[in-house]
DNA sequence: GTCTATACAAGGATAGAC
DNA sequence: GTCTATCCTTGTATAGAC
């Protein structure tokens, strides 16, 4: 569905530049407030040219979600290199805390996107839902390996805790909220093992 | 700042109807996707007439926030009638669970509004922030009365848990997520006392 | 005070030159 | 394959009749 590299002649990854720019700008400004011109500028591509690569704004949003999905896959791959499920979960949390300044300014990339797409008529909300589900599934496996029979519920609770603290960190513009919640969650993981 | 009843001659609460309609429609459709025509239709007021009561769309958003603030005040007043802090917190959670179908369709009214206003240039995000802070403050007092020295952190964690499960309930369109998390949070409250 | 008609701006999308 | 010019729709806001 997505041609990762050049298709015919030139275009040294303009499509990829546009997708990456979309992911960034849509997160920072929100879907509705972002214009095609904004994305084109960020990708350093003339406005009219955008339509050669993406027929509609929706396709651009879809490409942005793809980018997020790939980022998630990369993160999970890195986490899976760690030896124990407890370490993997705590490394996930540490990653969230590291990104706290982004959360202060723009919230969680996935969460804000999911909230916004829910209000749109297109079927893109299902695509983000799949992304979120994938993260919960991975988290559930970690809790299972920890021997918890209520792994699904705990996984949902952990991801929800992150989504929620992202909203508060963003709304109250206070990175320390994320730091404190990260500490609390790590203690909680330790108490389960 | 807000004239609650009629000012001069007639208008049997048109302003109030518009504010209530704004609160409802802005939550359901999102701020950016909602047009003045949408709000006018919901309030059963002709479009052009809107500007007699609110000079800009932003003033309408402000009025919607005011409505939410009053709703919150009413809820807190009702909760304060309960005898113990533990019961008050669990009643708060029960209220969230009751509203789960709304969460499935549109997410948390306050949380989605906060996320969206963050992306706008106007200073309205500070107004929602005050609302959120008020709820956290009240929650903190309950934990303090329970004798917890880490009351602030627990209050933030509880409100974050709700914000987060609202995002997930909405994104995954599953009311049971809210039910399960509600149970978990109530057990947690009980374990603190 | 109430409502209609309309000005004005912005943004998504397309046609077609190069 | 690249880019410019432009059409068309939608939505905010205002002028002014009633």
- In chain B the domains, ranked by start, together with CATH numbers, are 10-61 (1.10.10.60), 82-192 (1.10.357.10)
How far in angstroms lies nucleotide C10's C1' from the CA of residue A117?
22
A33-64 pLDDT, tens per residue? Answer: 999 999 999 999 988 899 999 999 999 999 99
Average pLDDT, stretch A142-154? 98
Query: What per-residue confidence (pLDDT) applies to A9?
Result: 38
| Non-local CB neighbours of A165 within 8 Å, separated by 6+ positions | A177, A178, A181, B156, B157, B160, B164
Asked if strand C comes closer than 7 Å to A120 Cβ, the answer is no
Q: A121 — phi, psi (to 5°)?
A: -75, -30
Per-residue 3-state assignment (H helix, E strand, C coil) for chain B: CCCCCCCCCCCCCHHHHHHHHHHHHHHHHCCCCCCHHHHHHHHCCCHHHHHHHCCCHHHHHHHHHHHHHHHHHHHHHHHHCCCCHHHHHHHHHHHHHHCHHHHHHHCCHHHHHHHHHHCCCCCHHHHHHHHHHHHHHHHHHHHHHCCCCCHHHHHHHHHHHHHHHHHHHHHHCCHHHHHHHHHHHHHHHHHHC
Asked if strand C comes closer than 7 Å to B3 Cβ, the answer is no
Query: What per-residue confidence (pLDDT) applies to A30?
Result: 96
At residue A185 the predicted structure's pLDDT band, cuts being 50, 70 and 90, is very high
pLDDT at A75 over 70: yes
CA dist list (Å): A56 to A32, A48, B113, B149, B155: 14, 12, 27, 54, 44
Give the C-alpha separation, A130 to A133, whole Å.
5
Q: B188 — phi, psi (to 5°)?
A: -65, -45
Query: In A 126-145, which Cβ lie closer than 7 Å to strand D?
Result: none
- Among partner residues A115, A120, A173, which is closest to B167 by beta-carbon distance? A115
| Protein-covered nucleotides on strand C (Cβ within 7 A) | 1-6, 10-16
pLDDT at B3 over 50: no
B116-142 pLDDT, tens per residue? Answer: 999 998 889 999 999 999 999 999 999
CA dist list (Å): A12 to A7, A21, A160, B66, B131: 10, 15, 39, 51, 49
Q: B108 in the Ramachandran plot: left (φ > 0), alpha (ψ -120 to 50) or beta?
A: beta
B77-114 pLDDT, tens per residue? Answer: 999 999 999 999 999 999 999 999 999 999 999 999 99
Using a CB–CB cutoff of 8 Å, tell me whether B102 touches chain A.
no
What is the Cα gyration radius of chain A?
Answer: 18
Query: What per-residue confidence (pLDDT) applies to B93?
Result: 99
Report which of residues B171 and A2 the model is more confident about: B171
pLDDT at A143 over 80: yes
């Amino acid at each position: 569905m997505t041609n990762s590299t050049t298709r015919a002649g030139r275009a040294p990854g303009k499509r990829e530049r546009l997708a990456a720019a979309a992911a960034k700008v849509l997160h920072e400004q929100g879907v509705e407030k972002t214009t095609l011109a904004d994305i084109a500028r960020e990708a350093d591509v003339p406005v009219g040219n955008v339509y050669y690569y993406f027929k509609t704004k929706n396709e651009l949003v879809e490409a942005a979600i793809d980018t997020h999905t790939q980022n998630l896959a990369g993160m999970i791959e890195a986490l899976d290199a760690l030896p124990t499920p407890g370490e993997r979960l705590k490394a996930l949390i540490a990653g969230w805390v590291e990104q706290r300044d982004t959360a202060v300014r723009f919230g969680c990339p996935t969460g804000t996107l999911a909230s916004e797409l829910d209000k749109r008529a297109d079927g893109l909300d299902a695509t983000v839902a799949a992304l979120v589900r994938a993260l919960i599934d991975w988290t559930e496996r970690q809790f299972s390996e920890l021997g918890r029979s209520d792994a699904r519920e705990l996984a949902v609770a952990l991801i929800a805790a992150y989504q929620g603290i992202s909203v508060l960190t963003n709304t109250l513009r206070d990175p320390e909220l994320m730091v404190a919640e990260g500490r609390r969650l790590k203690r909680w993981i330790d108490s389960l093992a």
